[in-house]
Amino acid sequence: MSHDMGRLHHVGHVVRDMGEALDLYRRLGFTLAPPAYPAMAPSEGAAPEPFGAANTHADFPHNFVELVTCVPQGGGARVPDEAKLVPLRAPAELLPQLVERISSTSATIAAALERFEGLHILMFSSPDIDVAAARLSAARVAHGGVNTVHRAVETADGTRTESVRYLEIDSPEPAVTPGAVAEGRVGVVADLDPLVQAARQLDHPNGAFDLVEVVTCVAEADLDATEARYQEYLGIPAQADGPTRFFDLDGARLTFVPDSQLSTLLPGEHASAVPAFVAYAVAVRDVAATRKRLYDNGFSVGRTDSGDIFVPAASALGAAIIFREASQVRR
């Protein structure tokens, strides 16, 4: 294991309608806080209005699943009633930079949605992000450098300020949006603050407690090149498992499957595009209880050869969601 990059930090599910996504994830058995929407007054004295990109999390002790969407322009018809507006607060000289950053993020999310609704964000966790950045630079992996943002976080104990340090990897291909590679936004984030994370809502009715795998589908001809690219990102070698390749991330997995084999790995699944993140897995305490909950809430449930169950992408806004018995998670 590379000393500067460890487990999965989060995966991002980009959706068109946050209200629909909240309903879906809660029926799946995830606990979600009201989504946060950046807000800014359109003119002096006016009430703040949402803009940019909004998100919420299904939180686990060491990582999370993010739901993210673009804020519709020209009105809030698709902004959920429960949404929490977060007015932008920054010194006057820094406010334009903050607005530009949020607008850029929103444009990236909009471009992802034009491609397909589903998984577009993959972030790895680092105990020392400055060391990780230096190693990536030495390996000639292009990235935007380490950025720091501060955000207010609502917890059961009140509002806390969280500092987030991160970097985004750039594609060597000029046609790809800065801060992204062909399959989506990929980057590194400093390890979550355990005190802040512990104060979040971590209990999920479906029994989920950890993000343990992300599945990426690539064209068969590109498998070797993609594997080599991620070896540079992570600083560790890939391993083979039948037709798939995977990286062991502190017991979790980043798996690459050729498009010709996706339906073997996840029966009935096909990728909307390649390369793409097509599925993620969470560990659950009792997969039989999780399966019953899914059935009771009207979901069709697939099963893999390894014994995992999953909700197909067609039923989950473009992302197959895998549920894995805790005893099957390698540590």
Instruction: Tell me the average pLDDT across 246-268.
Output: 96
Percent of the chain with pLDDT over 70: 93
Q: Is the pLDDT of residue 49 over 70?
A: yes
Q: Dihedral through CA 251, CA 254, CA 247, CA 139, nearest 10? A: -120
Residue 156, pLDDT score? 59
Report which of residues 153 and 258 the model is more confident about. Answer: 258
- Six token digits for residue 115: 């491609």
**Integer Cα distance of 281 and 234 in angstroms:** 20
Residue 117, pLDDT score? 98
Interior angle at CA 74, CA 71 and CA 76, nearest 5 = 55
Q: Is the pLDDT of residue 310 over 50?
A: yes
Instruction: Tell me the average pLDDT across 192-217.
Output: 92
68 close to 132: Cβ distance less than 8 angstroms: no
- DSSP-assigned states of every residue in 115-142: H-SEEEEEEEEES-HHHHHHHHHHTT--
Residue 95, pLDDT score? 73
Q: Is the pLDDT of residue 81 over 80?
A: yes
The residue type of 236 is I
Q: What is the DSSP letter of 141?
A: -
Residue 229, pLDDT score? 96
Predicted confidence band of residue 48 (pLDDT cuts 50, 70, 90): confident
Task: Map tokens 């607005």 to a residue.
Answer: 99
9 close to 186: Cβ distance less than 8 angstroms: no
Percent of the chain with pLDDT over 90: 69
Beta bridge partners of 244: 241
Q: For the segment 136-150, what is each residue's pLDDT rounded down to a tens digit?
A: 999 999 999 999 887
Q: Is the pLDDT of residue 75 over 60?
A: no
Task: Map tokens 């599945």 to a residue.
Answer: 215
Q: For the segment 13-29, what is each residue's pLDDT rounded down to a tens digit?
A: 999 999 999 999 999 99
Q: Is the pLDDT of residue 69 over 50?
A: yes
284 close to 40: Cβ distance less than 8 angstroms: no
Q: For the segment 207-255, what is each residue's pLDDT rounded down to a tens digit?
A: 999 999 999 999 999 999 999 999 999 999 999 999 999 999 988 999 9
Q: What is the DSSP letter of 168?
A: E
How many CA atoms are closer than 13 Å to the CA of 299, on its beta-carbon side? 28
**Integer Cα distance of 172 and 57 in angstroms:** 31
Predicted confidence band of residue 1 (pLDDT cuts 50, 70, 90): very low
Q: Is the pLDDT of residue 155 over 70?
A: no
213 close to 322: Cβ distance less than 8 angstroms: yes
Instruction: Tell me the average pLDDT across 289-314.
Output: 97
Nearest to 304 by CA among 241, 247, 226: 241
Computed over every residue of the chain, the mean pLDDT equals 90
Q: Is the pLDDT of residue 76 over 80?
A: no
